[in-house]
Amino acid sequence: MKSRQTSIACSVIRGGTSRGAYFLSTDLPTNAELRDQVLTAVMGGPDPLQVDGLGGGHSLTSKVAIVGPSSEIDVDVDYLFLQVAPDNSFVSTAQNCGNILSGVAPFAIEQGLVQAEDETTTIRVNMVNSGNRCELTLATPGGAVEYSGDTAIDGVPGTSSAIICDFLDIAGSVSGAMLPTGNVINEIGGFEVTCIDNGMPVVCARASDFGLSGSELPHDLDANTTLKASLEAIRLKAGPMMSLGDVSEKSVPKMCLVAEPTAGGHVLTRTFIPHECHRSIGVLGAVTVATACLLPGSVVDGVSTVPAGCDKTFSVEHPSGVFQVRLTIDEEAAPEASVVKAGVIRTARTLMRGEVFIPPNIWNGE
């Protein structure tokens, strides 16, 4: 069938609590500016509803993964994450996304980038955004991706087969240091905060300092314009302090309000990504907040509890339920260097595979 539009092979995959469009690196323009224009068109922007594209009118469903063979030693595939803003033409590569990362495993196998083993397959991924590594392990009985299983994650209906994500070297992934300001506590705008990066740059602050319990619903927090203005003022000042530069047009750092847990977990969170309250919590955001719980004197230290032992499973409470993070620590190391391995369990499912069409005035395929 002929079309005057440009077609690109695309898979739509739910990865964790997000949904994204997945592409082979060879199918997109090599020029970054043109690539971003194409991806904005794929998602249907700039338009808050993204009615003319695949996006769902929310940052959690306006994400892209670009995957290809890796030239790195002991790595199977490269993965570049792009956050496409629904209501403007801004495309960010400033951070990783652990949820979309989980969908890289089935995509890589189903696209022939990785040969699946008979029972389980481990895929070594280079996260291009930061240069960090992750190992993804999933069930592949008979050499095919298994989607059925009994693993449930809060924020996703039903159950699926587990995908184990082990992050190997994510401290300072974007900012260059676990504590990019050099301090466990900083005062910004009259508020005590902890600026930390163990996979995702996050500014943690106590919900109580803003007159909140921490258990408010996301839509109520989104409607609190005074709160959002205060958080953005802190974020803009924290950016340069965290070696991120001017963050006015960036999606990092994330802002996270923390409070004492209310549902049997270890810490309660409300995360802004960066201007909307997350309906759950991002994978690497959860890893970073759990890491902050280990730091004596951090703003999280005062409201959280820490599991015993070297292998710790943190239950991070969020608006949709609980996110479990596994941290392996070196008890002999300084607190800011103690985490040697971080792991989470996610699920993913391929929803659609086919072609997405781009208006020829944006890209003619050359």
Q: What is the rounded radius of gyration, in angstroms, for the C-alpha atoms of the chain?
A: 20
Half-sphere exposure of 53 (CA within 13 A, CB side): 31
Q: What is the pLDDT of residues 344-357, one digit of tens each?
A: 999 999 999 999 99
Instruction: Read off the pTM.
Output: 0.80
The DSSP string of 295-342 is STTSTTTTT----SSSEEEEEEEETTEEEEEEEEE-TTS-GGG-EEEE
Tokens 């069938």 belong to which residue? 1
The DSSP string of 204-217 is EEEGGGGT--S---
Compute the distance between CA of residue 177 and CA of residue 199 in angstroms, rounded to an integer.
10
Q: What is the pLDDT of residues 181-216, one digit of tens each?
A: 999 999 999 999 999 999 999 999 999 999 999 999
Candidate CATH numbers 3.40.640.10, 3.40.50.2300, 3.20.20.60, 3.10.310.10; the one for domain 186-344: 3.10.310.10
Paired residues of 188 in beta bridges: 191
| For residues 284-289, average pLDDT | 95
To the nearest whole percent, how much of the chain has pLDDT over 90?
87
Compute the distance between CA of residue 181 and CA of residue 185 in angstroms, rounded to an integer.
9
Contact 11, 21 (CB under 8 A): yes
Q: What is the pLDDT of residues 2-33, one digit of tens each?
A: 778 999 999 999 999 999 999 999 999 999 99
pLDDT of residue 331: 84
Cis peptide, bond prior to residue 69, ω within 30 of zero: no
Contact 160, 346 (CB under 8 A): no
- Say if residue 189 is exposed, middle or buried (CB neighbours under 10 Å; 0-12, 13-18, 19+): middle
Same fold: 6-162+348-358 with 186-344: yes
Compute the distance between CA of residue 228 and CA of residue 270 in angstroms, rounded to an integer.
12
Compute the distance between CA of residue 64 and CA of residue 126 in angstroms, rounded to an integer.
16
Q: Does 83 have pLDDT greater than 90?
A: yes
| For residues 239-250, average pLDDT | 96
Alpha helices in 178-273 (DSSP H): 218-222, 225-241
Q: Does 341 have pLDDT greater than 80?
A: yes
| For residues 34-44, average pLDDT | 97
What does the domain layout of the chain look like in residue ranges? Answer: 6-162+348-358, 186-344
**Six token digits for residue 131:** 């240069």
Q: Does 337 have pLDDT greater than 80?
A: no
| For residues 295-322, average pLDDT | 94
Tell me, rounded to whole angstroms, the distance of Cα 245 from its chain centroid: 20
Cis peptide, bond prior to residue 253, ω within 30 of zero: yes
- Which residue, 23, 16, 147, is CA-closest to 79? 23
Tell me, rounded to whole angstroms, the distance of Cα 179 from its chain centroid: 19
Tell me which of 1-10, 58-67, 160-169, 239-248 is least confident.
Answer: 1-10
Q: What is the pLDDT of residues 57-76, one digit of tens each?
A: 988 899 999 999 998 999 99
Contact 265, 322 (CB under 8 A): yes
Q: Which CATH class, in words, describes the domain spanning 6-162+348-358?
A: alpha beta
Compute the distance between CA of residue 19 and CA of residue 55 in angstroms, rounded to an integer.
9
Average pLDDT, the chain: 95
For strand 339-346 and strand 163-167, is the pairing parallel, antiparallel, or unpaired?
Answer: antiparallel
Tell me, rounded to whole angstroms, the distance of Cα 319 from its chain centroid: 16
Single-letter amino acid code for the residue at 87:
D
Confidence category of residue 1, pLDDT binned at 50, 70, 90: low
Q: Does 135 have pLDDT greater than 80?
A: yes
237 contact partners, CB below 8 Å, separation of at least 6: 188, 189
Containing H/E element for 6? strand 6-15
Residue, of 248 and 336, whose pLDDT is higher: 248
Alpha helices in the chain (DSSP H): 32-43, 98-110, 218-222, 225-241, 283-292
The 8-class DSSP code of residue 53 comes to S
The 3-state DSSP composition of the chain as helix, strand, coil percent (nearest 5) reads: 20, 35, 45
Confidence category of residue 180, pLDDT binned at 50, 70, 90: very high
